[in-house]
Amino acid sequence: MLAPISWRVPPRHYGPWELVVSRLTEGLVARGVDVTLFATADSVTSARLEAVCPRPLAEDPTLDAKVWEGLHIGNAFERSRDADILHNHYDFLPLTYSGLVKTPIVMTIHGFSSTKILPVYERYAKRVRYVAISAADRAPRLPYAATIHHGIPFEEYPLGRGEGGYLLSFGRIHPDKGTAEAIDVARHAGLPLVIAGIVHDEAYFAREIAPHVDGERVRYVGSVDRTAGATLLGGAVALVHLVNFAEPFGLAMVEAMATGTPVIATPRGSVPEVVDDGVTGVIVRDPAEAATAVPRAAMLDRAAVRAQACVRFSRERMVDEYLDLYRKILAGEA
Amino acid sequence: MLAPISWRVPPRHYGPWELVVSRLTEGLVARGVDVTLFATADSVTSARLEAVCPRPLAEDPTLDAKVWEGLHIGNAFERSRDADILHNHYDFLPLTYSGLVKTPIVMTIHGFSSTKILPVYERYAKRVRYVAISAADRAPRLPYAATIHHGIPFEEYPLGRGEGGYLLSFGRIHPDKGTAEAIDVARHAGLPLVIAGIVHDEAYFAREIAPHVDGERVRYVGSVDRTAGATLLGGAVALVHLVNFAEPFGLAMVEAMATGTPVIATPRGSVPEVVDDGVTGVIVRDPAEAATAVPRAAMLDRAAVRAQACVRFSRERMVDEYLDLYRKILAGEA
User: What is the tens place of the pLDDT at every residue in B18-40?
Assistant: 999 999 999 999 999 999 999 99
* Cα A200-A201-A203 angle, rounded to 5 deg: 155
Instruction: Tell me the average pLDDT across A117-138.
Output: 97
The mean predicted confidence, pLDDT, of chain B is: 97
Cβ–Cβ gap B70/A93 under 8 Å:
yes
Whether the predicted pLDDT of B278 surpasses 90: yes
A125 CB within 8 Å of a chain B CB: no
Question: Quick one: pLDDT band at residue B3, thresholds 50, 70, 90?
Answer: very high
The answer to whether A280 touches A261, Cβ cutoff 8 Å, is: no
Whether the predicted pLDDT of A156 surpasses 90: yes
pLDDT, tens digit, 9 for 90 and up, residues A21-70: 999 999 999 999 999 999 999 999 999 999 999 999 999 999 999 999 99
Whether the predicted pLDDT of B223 surpasses 90: yes
> What residues of chain B lie within 8 A of the CB of A97, using their CB?
74, 96-97, 100
pLDDT, tens digit, 9 for 90 and up, residues B289-322: 999 999 999 999 999 999 999 999 999 999 999 9
Cα separation of B68 and B40, whole Å? 10
The two beta strands, B105-109 and B86-88, are: parallel
> What residues of chain B lie within 8 A of the CB of A101, using their CB?
100
Q: Which residue of A has its CA nearest to B115?
A: A64
Cβ–Cβ gap B120/A67 under 8 Å:
yes
Lowest-pLDDT choice from A11-15, A20-24, A266-270, B320-324:
A11-15
Q: What is the pLDDT of residue A199?
A: 96
Three-state secondary structure of A89-135: CCCCHHHHHHHHCCCCEEEEECCCCCHHHHHHHHHCCCCEEEEECCH
pLDDT above 90 covers a percentage of chain A that reads 98
The answer to whether A92 touches A113, Cβ cutoff 8 Å, is: no
CA A121 to chain B, closest CA, distance in angstroms equals: 10
CA A6 to chain B, closest CA, distance in angstroms equals: 17
CA B124 to chain A, closest CA, distance in angstroms equals: 10
Provide the H-helix boundaries in chain B. Answer: 16-30, 65-79, 118-123, 179-189, 202-204, 226-234, 251-258, 271-274, 287-298, 302-313, 315-330
Phi-psi region of A32 (alpha: psi -120 to 50; beta: other; left: phi over 0): left
* Cα A45-A324-A14 angle, rounded to 5 deg: 35
Burial of B225 (0-12, 13-18, 19+ CB in 10 A): exposed
Note which residues in 274-333 of chain A have CB less than 8 A from chain B: none
A60 CB within 8 Å of a chain B CB: no
Whether the predicted pLDDT of A334 surpasses 90: no
Q: What is the pLDDT of residue B56?
A: 98
pLDDT, tens digit, 9 for 90 and up, residues A292-317: 999 999 999 999 999 999 999 999 99
pLDDT above 70 covers a percentage of chain A that reads 100
pLDDT, tens digit, 9 for 90 and up, residues B150-169: 999 999 999 999 999 999 99
Q: What is the pLDDT of residue A32?
A: 98
The answer to whether B96 touches B120, Cβ cutoff 8 Å, is: yes
Hey, of A52, A69, A92, A100, which one would you mutate to test binding to chain B, going by the most B CBs within 10 A of its CB? A100
B114 CB within 8 Å of a chain A CB: yes
B116 CB within 8 Å of a chain A CB: yes
Whether the predicted pLDDT of A262 surpasses 90: yes
Whether the predicted pLDDT of A324 surpasses 90: yes
B65 CB within 8 Å of a chain A CB: no
Residue A46 makes CB contacts below 8 A (sequence gap 6+) with A25, A26, A29, A30
> What residues of chain B lie within 8 A of the CB of A78, using their CB?
99-100
Provide the H-helix boundaries in chain A. Answer: 16-30, 65-79, 118-123, 179-189, 202-204, 226-234, 251-258, 271-274, 287-298, 302-313, 315-330
Question: What are φ and ψ of residue A174, in 5° steps?
Answer: -165, 150
Rounded (10°) angle between helices A226-234 and A251-258 = 60
Question: Quick one: pLDDT band at residue B236, thresholds 50, 70, 90?
Answer: very high
The answer to whether B319 touches B108, Cβ cutoff 8 Å, is: no
Hey, of A57, A67, A78, which one would you mutate to test binding to chain B, going by the most B CBs within 10 A of its CB? A67
Q: What is the pLDDT of residue B334?
A: 85
Q: What is the pLDDT of residue B254?
A: 98
The mean predicted confidence, pLDDT, of chain A is: 97
- Is A202 strand, coil or helix? helix
The answer to whether A100 touches B101, Cβ cutoff 8 Å, is: yes
Instruction: Tell me the average pLDDT across A205-219.
Output: 97
N-term to C-term CA, chain B: 19
B38 CB within 8 Å of a chain A CB: no
Cβ–Cβ gap A67/B101 under 8 Å:
no
Q: What is the pLDDT of residue A90?
A: 96
Cβ–Cβ gap A70/B92 under 8 Å:
yes
Cβ–Cβ gap A117/B78 under 8 Å:
no
Rounded (10°) angle between helices B226-234 and B251-258 = 60
User: Which of B74, B100, B119 comes nearest A78 by C-beta?
Assistant: B100
B103 CB within 8 Å of a chain A CB: no
Hey, of A5, A60, A96, which one would you mutate to test binding to chain B, going by the most B CBs within 10 A of its CB? A96
pTM score above 0.90: yes
The two beta strands, B236-241 and B166-170, are: parallel
- Is A314 strand, coil or helix? strand
CA A78 to chain B, closest CA, distance in angstroms equals: 6
Instruction: Tell me the average pLDDT across A74-96.
Output: 97
B70 CB within 8 Å of a chain A CB: yes
The residue among B99, B156, B125, B86 whose CA lies nearest residue B313 is B156
The answer to whether B2 touches B89, Cβ cutoff 8 Å, is: yes
A5 CB within 8 Å of a chain B CB: no
Residue A71 CA, distance from chain mean position: 25
Whether the predicted pLDDT of A101 surpasses 90: yes
User: Which of B52, B67, B99 comes nearest A74 by C-beta?
Assistant: B99
